[in-house]
Structure 1
Amino acid sequence: MDRMDWSDRCEFVNFTIWLIESRPIADYDSVVSVRSVRYVQSVFWLSILVLAFTSVFSVSSVFIAFAFAFAVA
């Protein structure tokens, strides 16, 4: 089983921080496209909003979040 070396870990952490902070994608053109990152961000934040406003954290609320994300994107 392969283990990640420190450079891979640092790159993963940097990319995760960038994804959360929504920085421009100029540094990560080789990793993902602008559209896919924006889509992932919209799905993430919309699912958080839907889960926050539902009283029961159920699977149906996740499906509602994905349906809303598809409608917006």
Structure 2
Amino acid sequence: MRSCLMTNGIRASRALLTRLAAAGLDDVAFHVDMTQDRNGFLELNTVRRAYIRRARGLGLRILFNTTVYWR
């Protein structure tokens, strides 16, 4: 069994992720998509890269999920 934090990432600081990883967290899944008032796909990738930097090197598997929708 694996433990996974599912988050939009807004409050998932490096310090928090470090503490959770030390406590046994296995994975972090960031939800980043256009429903969060992001300005286009390039901004989404900028946010994703920032979240990767926060979690890199902590031994966590980093995942992303998204919601597909039409306006």
**TM-score normalised per structure 2:** 0.27
**TM-score normalised per structure 1:** 0.26
| Larger-Rg structure | 1
Which structure has greater helix proportion? 1
Which structure has greater strand proportion? 2
Answer 1 or 2: higher relative contact order, Cα 8 Å, separation at least 6: 2
